[in-house]
Amino acid sequence: MPKLKLELQVNGRKVSREAEPHQRLLDFLRDDLNLTGTKEGCGAGECGTCSVFVDGKLVKSCLMPVAKAAGTSVQTIEGLAAPGDLTPVQKAFHKTGASQCGYCIPGMVMAATSALRENPNAGIEEIKERLGGNICRCTGYTKIFEAVEMARDVIAGEMPAAVLEEDAVGESFIGANVRRLDAPSKVSGRLKYAADMKMPDMLQMQVLRSPHAHARIMSIDTSAAEAMDGVACVITSADVPGKDGFGVFVHDQPTMATGKVRYVGEAVAAVAAEDLLIARRAVAAIKVEYEPLPGIFFAEDARKPGAPVLHDYAPDNLVKHIPIRKGNVEAGFAQADIILEDDFSTQQVEHGYLEPEAGIAYVDADDVVVVISPSQNISHHRHMLAEIIDKPINKVRFIMSPVGGGFGGKEDMIYQGMLAICAMKTHRPVQLNFTREESIIASAKRHPSKVHYKLGLKKDGRITAIEFSMLSDGGAYGMSSEGVMRKAAILSCGPYEVDNLKIDTVAVYTNNTPSGAFRTFGGMQAQFATESMMDMAAEALGMDPFAIRRVNMMKVGSRTHTQQELTTASLDRVLDAAEKASRWESGPPTVRGPARKDMNGPDTRKPCTLGARFETATPGPTEAEKVA
């Protein structure tokens, strides 16, 4: 197709360029103009990280063909303030701590700016609704709301601009609300994440992924892909130079599928090419012959006799079983006045970091293989990659690029090995940027879990025994499952001293998307069951939920579930503070909600009704609007 001739204004400057007809405005800004403050988070208009102004209107640039931007005036995050300066909105984000990983923040700043341009007097409810198209996974939005309100008030002159500056230090920097040092680079879009980086002569990599949950690979034919113009290399597991295998605890996952695939989305082959389009076409030209195998899709089926086996080393499909025993549970239940027994389950959860996985690898002048990626564990990745590519440790270098959200999801080395091998084959820098869909199918999730719980108590609320058994779906590879089971077991029965315990946590292999590390590492799945049971017990015994927890809570000198003696313990103060802060009305949890007197306080928000929040905007641009 012929190229498009484009003329438009970008950040106040005239731009005349030729563009490819398939380009989105987002691609044009990032790839052609190097305005990488505009981020790609989903490519589907769902997350808002790519928000820009087109003729003054907030637009998701991933949804706009660049052809439609011809003749318009585009403003990006880089154009909001003069170089080196920040707008009041950006300064307020800095002041309140509204940026954490920062990846959503350029888009969020654009949405906030739009909100205050549209209505400089916007109230908090309207601000919330106007930010509704932008997802943030780190902050919980609260500091963002605070920032937008602060900026609104500063712009309107109702707050002095000095509130945006650093607070004066007292006697110590420890305990001081020092503003985040990395915030200016994030609110201005200047910080380069891995996908924003460019190196001269850099190739683009794309990955062929398994369409099967469990299948034998009969053959891989890469000849058509390799013959394509612009393809620099095609790799499969046969190209791994060293001992293949990675994982946080057990190295059971190959860099690319070897012999068989174990989940939908598993990497099978990769292509490095002159540009993304060629790489994608080449990936489509790789022919793989599969023989589908029966799969395991429910954790309960994994250990049944005759179940398909995923890994030869684990014929029972067991990833890990962690047992904890303390006291005598039979005796404990015999002492109980009441026994409650129930089942709980939690779902598989996606990390949803706004930055999809991305990375660059190159071989430097001293033959060091360098990988730049948002890895949460560069020291372990270095060890594993050294084995995989058969190099000494000091010839492997990992650089952690700014992480656009991790939450445990970037601890697994699921693509860095492929990048390194392509770089070694071509001696050129190679970059891979995941799409959102690719990130979702290929990366680990929070373990879905099922807990069976048996709880014995005396009438006074004292726990006499707990039997806790958890089964987790580890998915196709081990990743962090062993550690997650260990932490789940250790924390399982909550912050309570219990003399008689029988705890088992088990993770099994299935052909589902792998489960791995995710903020709390099994702790929340386990304690969700415990804290539900505590309230059920409180109801059965007619006790206040705080009271039953105080009866059982760990104190200094308590022995934990693993029989460790605690030398400090703060739950007494924490419970007191929570009861006081929430103005808790004491009483047993017997569905007394509707009769409670402690609700609807000034420390709650109003329930929301969609569409009822926009006040009438002031007509015409005001001074305040221009400043935002």
Partner 1 sequence: MMERKLRGRGIAASWYGIARTATIDRAGAWAEIDDGGTGKIVTGVTEIGEGILTVLAQIAAEEMGIRPEDVTIGDNDTARAPEAAHAGATRQTYMIGNSVALASREARSALFAELADHWGVAVDTLKAFNGEVWAVETNQRVSMKDAVKICKARGVVPVGSASFTAHGTGLDPVDGSGAPWQAYVFGTQVAEVEVDTYTGEVQVLGIWAVHDVGRAINPRGVEGQIEGGVVQGLGQALMEDYQTVDGHTTTHGFAKYILPTSLDIPQINCTIVEDPDPLSPLRAKGIGEPALVPTAPAIMNAIYDAIGVRIKSLPATPEKILQALRERHAANQREIA
Interacting residues with partner 1 between 399 and 418 (CB under 8 A): 399-400, 402-408, 410-411
Q: Does 462 bind partner 1 (CB under 8 A)?
A: no
The interface with partner 1 within residues 563-592 (CB under 8 A) comprises: 563-564, 566-571, 573-575, 577-578, 581-582, 584, 589, 591-592
Q: Does 474 bind partner 1 (CB under 8 A)?
A: no
**End-to-end CA, the chain:** 41
By beta-carbon proximity to partner 1, the closer residue of 40 and 239 is 40
The interface with partner 1 within residues 96-115 (CB under 8 A) comprises: 96-97, 100-102
Q: Are strands 449-457 and 338-346 parallel, antiparallel or unpaired?
A: antiparallel
Q: Does 328 bind partner 1 (CB under 8 A)?
A: no
Residue 311 C-beta: closest distance to partner 1, Å: 16
By beta-carbon proximity to partner 1, the closer residue of 285 and 370 is 370
Which residues, in sequence order, are CB contacts of 604 under 8 Å at separation 6+?
A: none
Q: Does 350 bind partner 1 (CB under 8 A)?
A: yes
Residue 19 C-beta: closest distance to partner 1, Å: 26
Q: Contact with partner 1 (CB under 8 A): which of 1, 82, 162, 181?
A: 181
Q: Contact with partner 1 (CB under 8 A): which of 221, 596, 618, 626?
A: 596
Distance (Å, whole) CA 550 – CA 65: 60
Q: Does 616 bind partner 1 (CB under 8 A)?
A: no
Residue 224 C-beta: closest distance to partner 1, Å: 27
Which residues, in sequence order, are CB contacts of 56 under 8 Å at separation 6+?
A: 73, 75, 117
The interface with partner 1 within residues 30-69 (CB under 8 A) comprises: 42, 44, 46-47
Q: Does 249 bind partner 1 (CB under 8 A)?
A: no
Q: Does 274 bind partner 1 (CB under 8 A)?
A: no
Q: Does 511 bind partner 1 (CB under 8 A)?
A: yes
The interface with partner 1 within residues 371-400 (CB under 8 A) comprises: 374, 376-380, 382, 394, 396-400
Q: Does 189 bind partner 1 (CB under 8 A)?
A: no
Distance (Å, whole) CA 143 – CA 405: 17
Which residues, in sequence order, are CB contacts of 563 under 8 Å at separation 6+?
A: 326
- Sheet with 57-60, side-by-side order of all strands: 13-19, 4-10, 73-75, 51-54, 57-60
Q: Contact with partner 1 (CB under 8 A): which of 20, 32, 129, 226?
A: 129
Tell me how far CA of residue 627 lies from CA of 80, 152, 349, 624, in angstroms. Answer: 10, 10, 41, 5
By beta-carbon proximity to partner 1, the closer residue of 16 and 609 is 609
Q: Contact with partner 1 (CB under 8 A): which of 32, 437, 499, 625?
A: 437
- Assigned token pair, 251: 């190295």
By beta-carbon proximity to partner 1, the closer residue of 428 and 549 is 549
Query: Which range of residues in 332-340, 413-421, 422-430, 532-540 is near partner 1 by CB under 8 A?
Result: 532-540
Q: Contact with partner 1 (CB under 8 A): which of 55, 342, 390, 460?
A: 342
Q: Contact with partner 1 (CB under 8 A): which of 38, 75, 114, 139?
A: 139
The amino acid that residue 126 corresponds to is: E
Which residues, in sequence order, are CB contacts of 602 under 8 Å at separation 6+?
A: none
Residue 282 C-beta: closest distance to partner 1, Å: 23
Residue 221 C-beta: closest distance to partner 1, Å: 25
Q: Does 479 bind partner 1 (CB under 8 A)?
A: no
Helices within 119-237 (DSSP H only)? 124-130, 142-155, 183-187, 223-226
Q: Contact with partner 1 (CB under 8 A): which of 67, 202, 224, 440?
A: 440
CA-based nearest residue to 362, from 317, 434, 428, 284: 428
Contact assessment for residue 164 and residue 150, using Cβ atoms and an 8 Å cutoff:
yes
Give the CA radius of gyration of the chain: 28
Distance (Å, whole) CA 162 – CA 89: 14
Bridge partner residues of 287 (DSSP): 221
By beta-carbon proximity to partner 1, the closer residue of 117 and 214 is 214
By beta-carbon proximity to partner 1, the closer residue of 37 and 79 is 37
Q: Does 236 bind partner 1 (CB under 8 A)?
A: no
Contact assessment for residue 609 and residue 104, using Cβ atoms and an 8 Å cutoff:
no
Q: Does 216 bind partner 1 (CB under 8 A)?
A: no
Bridge partner residues of 208 (DSSP): 269
Q: Contact with partner 1 (CB under 8 A): which of 3, 70, 165, 177?
A: 177
Q: Does 165 bind partner 1 (CB under 8 A)?
A: no
Give the containing element (helix H, strand E) for 90. Answer: helix 88-96
Please report where in the chains the tokens 């949803």 appear, as a residue.
Answer: 352
Bridge partner residues of 471 (DSSP): 450, 506
Residue 96 C-beta: closest distance to partner 1, Å: 8
Q: Does 298 bind partner 1 (CB under 8 A)?
A: no
Contact assessment for residue 569 and residue 551, using Cβ atoms and an 8 Å cutoff:
no
By beta-carbon proximity to partner 1, the closer residue of 141 and 314 is 141
In eight-state DSSP terms, residue 33 is S
Q: Contact with partner 1 (CB under 8 A): which of 4, 156, 349, 551?
A: 349
Q: Does 199 bind partner 1 (CB under 8 A)?
A: no
Question: If you write DSSP's letter for every residue of 415-467 in order, what string do you get?
Answer: THHHHHHHHHHHSS-EEEE--HHHHHHHS-BBPPEEEEEEEEE-TTS-EEEEE
Give the containing element (helix H, strand E) for 113. Answer: helix 105-118
Bridge partner residues of 397 (DSSP): 370
By beta-carbon proximity to partner 1, the closer residue of 79 and 495 is 495
By beta-carbon proximity to partner 1, the closer residue of 79 and 405 is 405
Residue 136 C-beta: closest distance to partner 1, Å: 8
Neighbours of 260 (CB within 10 A): 17
Q: Does 365 bind partner 1 (CB under 8 A)?
A: no
* Dihedral of alpha carbons 196, 146, 86, 617, sign: positive
Q: Does 329 bind partner 1 (CB under 8 A)?
A: no
Neighbours of 56 (CB within 10 A): 13
